[in-house]
């Protein structure tokens, strides 16, 4: 579709909407020429076309799951907000599910039922999707464990690669299959697709046990320290990404960055040389067509949490307390004080 010269007039938009037939629905894309990403002047319609190009693996990754929408109505360079509840005026066909946010507030979330839902959300300014670890058809069970490799300040991406190798070695030892992806920023995620037998409290307990074991094995590289002052220049395994009602930035979702970087599933063999900043809405569709979906078999590799829960039981028997929870959650049983070590009350010497 021909549009105005956006490089001379970056705020120009086309008044006429584009109407797309998707999944048996007609979805309108308004202001399709509005520039959403400054680096290459990519528009809202470019973003829609990207999501249509990756629709099959996208739905494999998040189809049927509630989502939290990260909205940038004026594009990645503008103000943003998280859409916890489907707004008034949403089409009647939009599928939703009442979920709880971490503080217990009910929220009517959009379910990623099909590509029509995805494009409807993009039209509202949603650049990327934050996805629940459970399916709308079975909200009581979390069927994903998300291992977040979060590099602390001063940590190079080569250290993240090395930490990912340690994660893989531990998972292989336990007979568990992990699926890595870039985050669209500086880290990596590794997903385990689970048998639907455990709730989010049990999944988080397993994540805590895994983080602690990794930190024991490679204390020079990996930390499980919740308090930032204790992490140092290491890769933090953020176990609390598995807390109940917690969403994680989804596979194939687009970050609010000028270059429109994407969180992309990759194979383990790709970890050594992947360049996350090169994975954008301009490059990823061709890479997908050439290489296929690295997560194509994720639903055929369902994992048991029992090996990690056994480690959790071992740690509790050894006298460890639970790891700290984020402040938005109520105080949990066996949780240590929620205060940084530097602010903890010192014992009275008398």
What confidence score (pLDDT) does residue 84 get?
87
The whole-number average pLDDT for the span 228-238 is: 97
pLDDT at 11 over 50: no
What confidence score (pLDDT) does residue 2 get?
38
Q: Please choose, from the candidates 46, 33, 56, 6, the residue with its C-alpha nearest in 3D space to the C-alpha of residue 282.
A: 46
pLDDT at 347 over 70: no
From CA 44, how far away is CA 32, in angstroms rounded? 5
Cβ atoms of residues 337 and 226 within 8 Å: no
Q: What is the pLDDT of residues 148-167, one digit of tens each?
A: 999 999 999 999 999 999 99
What DSSP line would sit under 276-301, residue for residue?
Answer: GGG-BTTTHHHHHHHH--TTTTGGG-
- List beta partners, residue 191: 146, 179
What domains does the chain contain, in order, with CATH numbers?
18-138 (3.90.920.10), 144-247+301-323 (3.30.70.3300)
Q: ∠ CA(28), CA(98), CA(328), 5° rounding? A: 110
Q: What is the pLDDT of residues 47-96, one digit of tens each?
A: 999 999 999 999 999 999 999 999 999 999 999 999 989 998 899 999 99
The whole-number average pLDDT for the span 225-231 is: 97
Confidence of residue 308 (pLDDT cuts 50, 70, 90): very high
Give this prediction's pTM. 0.93
């Amino acid at each position: 579709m021909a549009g105005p010269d956006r490089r001379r007039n970056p705020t120009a938009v086309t008044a006429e909407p584009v109407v797309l037939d998707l999944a048996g629905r007609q979805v309108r894309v308004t202001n399709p020429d509005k520039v959403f990403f400054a680096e290459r002047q990519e528009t809202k319609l470019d973003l829609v076309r990207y999501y249509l190009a990756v629709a099959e693996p996208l739905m494999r990754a998040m189809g049927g799951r509630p989502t939290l929408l990260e909205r940038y109505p004026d594009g990645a360079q503008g103000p943003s907000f998280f859409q916890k509840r489907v707004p008034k005026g949403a089409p009647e066909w939009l599928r939703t599910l009442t979920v709880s946010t971490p503080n217990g507030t009910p929220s009517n979330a959009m379910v990623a039922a099909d590509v029509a839902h995805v494009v409807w959300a993009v039209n509202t300014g949603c650049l990327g999707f934050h996805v629940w670890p459970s399916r709308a058809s079975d909200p009581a069970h979390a069927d994903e464990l998300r291992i977040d490799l979060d590099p602390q300040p001063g940590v190079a991406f080569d250290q993240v690669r090395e930490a990912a190798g340690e994660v893989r070695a531990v998972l292989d030892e336990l007979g568990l299959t992990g699926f890595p992806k870039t985050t669209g920023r500086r880290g990596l995620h590794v997903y385990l697709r689970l048998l639907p037998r455990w709730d989010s409290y049990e999944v988080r307990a397993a994540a805590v046990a895994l983080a602690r074991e990794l930190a024991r094995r490679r204390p020079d590289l990996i930390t499980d320290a919740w308090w930032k002052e204790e992490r140092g220049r290491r890769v933090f395994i953020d176990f609390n990404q598995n807390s109940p009602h917690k969403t994680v930035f989804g596979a194939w979702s687009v970050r609010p960055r000028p270059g429109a970087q994407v969180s992309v599933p990759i194979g383990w063999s790709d970890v050594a040389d992947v360049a996350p900043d090169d994975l954008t809405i301009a490059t990823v569709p061709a890479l997908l067509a050439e290489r296929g979906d690295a997560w194509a078999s994720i639903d055929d590799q369902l994992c048991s949490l029992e090996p990690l829960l056994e480690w959790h039981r071992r740690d509790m028997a050894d006298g460890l307390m639970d790891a700290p929870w984020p402040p938005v959650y109520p105080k949990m049983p066996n949780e240590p004080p929620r205060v940084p070590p530097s602010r903890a009350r010192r014992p009275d010497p008398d």
